[in-house]
Amino acid sequence: MPDPYETLDAAMGRFLGMRGVLDPTQAVPGLGLSMSEAMAMRQLSDGAQTQQDLGAGLSLEKSTISRLVDGMIRKGWAEKSRDPHNRRYQIVRLTPEGKQVAHQVADVFHRRHARWFAALTAHEQDALTVGLTALLRAIDKESAAESGATGT
């Protein structure tokens, strides 16, 4: 019987590679954006956010989110301005062009995920849904415990 930890490790590695995390040209072919940019656009599609909240939602460090947002601004996909309620914060929002790209990203992801899901049996679909939900709960619990242990 295969070792479940090795199976999970191999599956996660393959999944991340196939999902385009490691190669920006694979995230959304033809759009020229990284997976980080794609995920940021999906998050910003719900509305403007502080740069700090965007970073927290993507689990990215302050300097990393700053570079990510600056790159999206250079591409014309986002803009930022000072928060009128707290001038220390930057508010990030998608531009009209960024909203179009975000819509394309969401459409590509939806179609890709629908194809993958349709290739599974009903039993596999149920198992995947339950398993991924449980795995995310375990990851969230561990992350919360680590954050509490470090005082952040």
In the predicted model, is pLDDT for residue 44 greater than 90? yes
Tell me how far apart the alpha carbons of residues 144 and 152 are, in angstroms, rounded to a whole number.
10
Give the model's confidence band at 23: pLDDT under 50 very low, under 70 low, under 90 confident, else very high.
low
Mean pLDDT, rounded, for 52-56:
93
- pLDDT, averaged across the chain: 87
**Within a domain: residue 93?**
yes
**Within a domain: residue 113?**
yes
**Within a domain: residue 1?**
no
**Within a domain: residue 67?**
yes
| Domain that residue 51 falls in | 32-144
DSSP one-letter string for the chain: ---HHHHHHHHHHHHHHHHTSS-HHHHSTTT---HHHHHHHHHHTT--EEHHHHHHHHT--HHHHHHHHHHHHHTTSEEEEEETTEEEEEEEEE-HHHHHHHHHHHHHHHHHHHHHHHTS-HHHHHHHHHHHHHHHHHHHHHHHHHHHHHT-
Decide if 49 contacts 67 (C-beta within 8 A): no
* CATH code of the domain in which 90 resides: 1.10.10.10
Q: What's the confidence (pLDDT) of residue 108?
A: 87
The identity of residue 52, as a single letter, is: Q
Which of 11-25, 56-70, 98-112 has the weakest average pLDDT? Answer: 11-25
**Within a domain: residue 99?**
yes
Decide if 105 contacts 41 (C-beta within 8 A): yes
Residue 37, strand partner residues: none
Domains contained in the chain, number: 1
In the predicted model, is pLDDT for residue 22 greater than 70? no
**Within a domain: residue 13?**
no
What backbone torsions phi and psi does residue 28 show, to the nearest 5 degrees? -140, 90
**Within a domain: residue 97?**
yes
Q: What's the confidence (pLDDT) of residue 21?
A: 64
**Within a domain: residue 110?**
yes
| Cα end-to-end distance, the chain, whole Å | 41
